[in-house]
Structure 1
C-alpha cells in the first residue's frame, strides 16, 4: 500500500518534533527536524533541533522542507545538500560562541586570581628590601651583615618551598574531585610536616647559627658575625610560624582564593615597615630592631592565614601525622622542587660567599643588588601558582578540558616572557639611577655603580 506524501505547507508547533510511532516495524520513526549532534558540544547542545535555533515560536513551511518517503522500501530519503550546509553552519556557530565564552570566562578567573597573587608574592621580598633600605641608612657594617644573615634566614627557607608546591597541588586535585574530607586531611598532614620542619630549623639556628655564619664569612669579616648572628637568632624564633603560614597560604591558593593570603601579607608588610621605622630609625635598635619587626610580622601573617582557612570551613589547627604512603606521595611531589630550590640556594649562597671575601663595602653593595634582584624575580611566581591552581582541574577534574589546559599554558608563557623583559629593565635601572634609596655611604654607592661598568 502506497504511503501518502505529507503536504509541504503543513505548520507545526515547535514542540511537535516527531510523528506518532508507526505500527509497521519496518519503518523508522519519522522526524521532520534533523538534529545536530556533536561530541564536543555540551549536553544541552548535543541534540539541538533546527527548530530550536529558529527565532519564531512556530516553524514555517519553508524551514521544514520534509523528507520524501519512498513507497518501495518505506525509508526516508536523505536531506538535501542545502539543509546539510545549514546544519553544519549552525553547529559551527554554536561551537565558536561556546569556545569564545569559555576563553573569556577562563581569562577572567585567571586575572581575578593572579592580580592579588602578585601582591602576595611581592610582600616577602618587599619586607627584605625595606630592611635593607632602613639598615643601610644607619650602618654599612650592619648592611653588610645582612648578606650572610639572609642566607641562613631567607635562602634556607626556600628549601622548604616544596611544602607550598605539595599543598597547592594536593588541595587543588582533591577539590577537583569535590572531596572536602580529603582536602582537610591533606591540610592537616602538611601542617604537621611544616610545624615539624619549623621546630627543626629553630633548633638548628639556636645551636649552629653562629658557627654557620663564622664559617660562611671567614676570618677577614669576623667583625660582621655578631650583628649577623643577632639578626639570625631573632628571626629564627619565627621558623615554625613561617612554615605553617606557607602551608595555610598554599592551601588557600589551591582553593583559588588569593585575597585571603594577600590581606594577611599586606598586614604583615605594614607591621614590618612601621616596626623598622620605629625600632631602627627612632629607637636606634639597628639590625636587631629590623629582625624583631620581621619576626612579628611573620607570626601575625601565619595566624591570619590560618584564620582564613577556618572561615572557609576547614580546621587549620588540626594536625595529622602522615602515613608512610602519604609521606611517599609528598616526596614524589616535592622531590623535583626540592632539588631545584637546593640548586638555587647553593648558587646564591656561593655568590654571597665570594662577595664576603671582597670587603665590607662590597658585601653591602652586593646585598643591595641581591635584594633588588629578588624583588624582580618573584613576579613570575604568581604565574607558577596560577598553573598549579588551575591545571589540576583542567587535567584531572570533573570538567576535564585539555584544549583549555594547553591554552592556559601558552598564555602564561607569553605573559612570563613579557614580564621578564620589563622587569629586567626596571631591576637594572633602579639601583643605577637611585642608589641613595638604599644607603648614604659613598663607598657603597660607588660599589653599586661599579656593577654597571
Structure 2
C-alpha cells in the first residue's frame, strides 16, 4: 500500500513537472500562432506547413532520444514538445521575415491599437468560450450517467473531435481569400459568394464522407476501442446523432470563416452564445427526461445545426457581408507598415 502510494505520488510529480516544462513554451506558442495567422492571411500556407513538418520531426526525434535512450520519461517528452514548439515559432517568424517584415522587433502598442485589438478579440473570445463551454457541458452531463456511459462518450467525443478538425481548412481558406473580395481594393462580392458556395459544397461533401467513415468505425470495429460489450452498446446508441452532428461540422466551419472574413464579429459571437444557451436548456431537458447519452448527443446536434442555419441565414441576408454595399460597417483603418 505504501509503495503504491509512493509510486502514485511520484507519477503525479512527473506529470506536474511536464506541465511546468510545457508552460515555458507558451509565450513562444502565442507568437507562433500570430505569425501563422499572418502567413495564412497573406495566402501563404507552405510556410506554416514546413514549420509544422519540421516541428513534428523535432518532437518525434526528441521523444526517441530523451525518453528511450536517455530515460527521461514524461519530462523528456515535455522537453521535446517544448523545443519543437520553439522551432516552429522561429520558422514561422522567419517566413514573415522573408516577405520583408521584421518579426523579431518589439514595440509597445498605442492605446488606439489596443482598443482595435480588443474590438476584434472580445467577440472571438465569446464565440470560442461558448463553443468550448458547450462541449464541456455535454461531457459534464454524460459523467452523471454512469461509468460505462462516460467511457462510451469519451470514445465518441474524441472520435468526433478528430473528424471535425478536417473542416478547419475550409474556415482558413475563407479567412484568407474572402477579405479582399469583401472589402479590399479589388472588391467583388459576386466572387465572394461563388467562393462561399464552393466551400459549402466541399463542406457538405466532406461532412458526408467524415460522417460515414466516422460512424462506420465504431459500428463495425468497436473492439478497436474497447472489448466491453456494455460500453459498445452505449456507443451504438449515439451513432445516429453522431453522424448528423458530424456531417454538418465542415459546412459550419466554412460559414464561420466567411463571417470572420467579413468581420461580422458581433453576430457570430452573439449567435454562438445563443446556441450555447439553447443547447444548455436541451441538455437539462434531456437529463430530466431520462434520455441518457443519446439525449446529450441530440443536444449537440441541435447546437451544430442551429449554428449552421443561423450563419447561413446571415450570409444570405440582404444586409449580410456578402450582399451589403455599406462599407462603413467594417471600420477599416490604414495599417501601419511593419
Answer whether contact 2:200 2:251 (CA < 8 A) is retained.
yes
Shift of 1:230: 2.1
Q: Residues 18-417 of structure 1 correspond to what in structure 2 (within 5 A)? A: 103-174=110-181, 175-177=183-185, 178-215=187-224, 217-219=225-227, 221-280=228-287, 282-311=288-317, 312-313=319-320, 399=334, 401-403=336-338
- 2:286–2:292 Cα contact (<8 Å) kept: yes
Q: Which has the higher contact order (CA 8 A, sep 6+)?
A: 1
The structural deviation recorded for 1:315 is 6.5
1:246 Cα deviation from its structure 2 partner: 1.5
Deviation at 1:114, TM superposition (A): 0.8
CA-atom RMSD, angstroms? 2.7
Report the CA distance between 1:103 and its aligned residue. Answer: 4.2
CA shift digits 1:44-78 (9 cap, x unpaired): xxxxxxxxxxxxxxxxxxxxxxxxxxxxxxxxxxx
> Are 2:170 and 2:254, in contact at CA under 8 Å, matched by a contact in 1?
yes
TM-score, length-scaled by structure 1: 0.45
- Which secondary structure state, in structure 2, belongs to the residue aligned with residue 238 of structure 1? helix
Show structure 2 runs of 5+ residues with no match.
1-108, 324-329
CA distance in 2, matches of 1:159, 1:224: 27
Deviation, structure 1 residue 263: 2.0
Q: For the structure 1 residues 180 and 227, does the alpha-carbon distance in structure 2 shift closer, same or farther, using more than 3 Å as the test?
A: same
CA offsets, 1:221-251, max 9 Å, x none?
3431221232243121123332222211111
Query: How far apart are residue 289 of structure 1 and its match?
Result: 0.6
What SS does the aligned partner of 2:136 have?
A: helix
Matched-pair contact (CA < 8 Å) for 2:211–2:243: yes
Post-superposition shift, 1:285? 1.1
Inter-partner Cα distance in structure 2 for 1:180 and 1:126: 34
3-state SS, counterpart of residue 133 of structure 1: helix
Q: Which has the larger radius of gyration?
A: 1
Aligned partners of 2:131, 2:179: CA distance in 1, in Å?
A: 24
> Unpaired segments of 5 or more residues in structure 1?
1-101, 317-388, 404-453
Residue number in structure 1 paired with 2:34: none
* Aligned 8 A contact 2:215 2:242 in 1: no
Pair 1:184–1:105, CA change in 2 (3 A): farther
Work out the CA distance in 1 between the residues paired with 2:276 and 2:320.
27
| Partner-residue secondary structure (3-state), 1:138 | coil
> CA deviation digits over 1:115-147, x for unaligned, max 9?
011111122221121111112123121112111
By percentage of residues, which structure has more helix? Answer: 2
Deviations 1:380-409 (A, max 9, x none): xxxxxxxxx99xx99xxxx56432xxxxxx
